[in-house]
Amino acid sequence: MSSSRQFLLGMRDTIPMLVGAVPFGIVYGTLAVASGLSVAATLAMSLLVFAGSAQFVAASLVASGTSLTVILLTTLIVNLRHLLYSASLLPFVRHLPQRWRAPLAFWLTDESFAVVHRHYLLDDSPVERKHWYFLGSCLAMYSLWFACTLIGVLLGQALPSLGDWGLDFAMIATFIGIVVPLLRNRPMIVAALVASAVAVAAHGLPYKLGLMLAALLGVCAGVISQRLAERGKPAQEEAA
């Protein structure tokens, strides 16, 4: 398959992901401006950071007057999952020169990872041209994300009172839409419940430390609960 066909195929296969990203991007643009970020900063974030959930979280933290250090630390935690994505894709891109690897890494998102990883695993065509598919998926996401941010910003400016409408709830609904489908097993549910409970209980702590503490304890609870479940299984089989 030619490079351009791979590129177009990557774009086409990303379309379902784009459908979900459109409202996300528009709401981010609107919300970030309502949170007190300037238009330039809102657009620059989509252009230079390009990480939807981290951008949302940062905007909500800016709105509540959080310090820069805490926002950056939260960004680190929220984006750590990309380490797993890059580890999973590494075997397929390590033959590429750095001028390919660096931009592909910059554009690596949840959505493109899901589409591209599947393509590398399932498609039988030789690996040599598949980075064009990767690139197509990334550029589709990137251009759409920026366009939707811009639409959101313009919408927010056209309707200045939009910030009072409770649009911050759109972020809550978006995060719920991301989290709930992930709650497929008991350890995931335990992690979510523990993180929620700690976040509520530790809400009064300064510097948003409650969020960090909740995330940390939620992760620990998930890991412990998974380990307990795995330890329980062989014992049950023996008993049966």
Partner 1 sequence: MSSFEIGLILGMAIITFAIRYTLFAVGHRVRFSPLVVQALTYVPVAVLSAIVVPVMLMPEGEGLQLSLHNHYLVGGVAAILIAARWRNLLATIAGGILCFFLWRWFYG
Q: What's the min distance (Å) between Cβ of 29 and partner 1? A: 15
Pick 163 or 210: Cβ nearer partner 1: 210
Within residues 6-35, the interface with partner 1 by CB under 8 A covers 19-20, 23-24, 27
Contacts with 84 (C-beta within 8 Å, 6 or more apart), sequence order: none
Among 78, 115, 144, 148, binds partner 1 (CB under 8 A): 78
CA separation for the pair 129, 200 (Å, rounded): 49
Count Cβ atoms below 10 Å from residue 15 Cβ, excluding itself: 11
Among 35, 60, 137, 149, binds partner 1 (CB under 8 A): 60
Report which of 102, 49, 86 is spatially closest to residue 71, judged by C-alpha positions. 49
Q: What's the min distance (Å) between Cβ of 236 and partner 1? A: 21
Q: What's the min distance (Å) between Cβ of 137 and partner 1? A: 15
Residue 21: burial class (beta carbons within 10 Å; 0-12, 13-18, 19+)? buried
Interface with partner 1 (CB under 8 A), residue total 91
Residue 199 in the binding site for partner 1 (CB under 8 A): yes
Pick 48 or 239: Cβ nearer partner 1: 48
Q: Which stretch binds partner 1 (CB under 8 A): 4-12, 143-151, 156-164, 187-195?
A: 187-195
DSSP label of 94: T
Among 91, 159, 209, 232, binds partner 1 (CB under 8 A): 91
Within residues 145-184, the interface with partner 1 by CB under 8 A covers 166, 168-170, 172-183
Complete DSSP assignment for 51-81: -HHHHHHHHHHHHTT--HHHHHHHHHHHHTH
Residue 53 in the binding site for partner 1 (CB under 8 A): yes
Q: Show contacts of 155-159: CB within 8 Å, 24+ apart.
A: 155/26, 155/29, 155/30, 156/29, 156/30, 156/31, 156/33, 156/34, 157/33, 157/39
Within residues 202-231, the interface with partner 1 by CB under 8 A covers 203-204, 210-211, 214-219, 222-223, 226
Residue 121 in the binding site for partner 1 (CB under 8 A): no
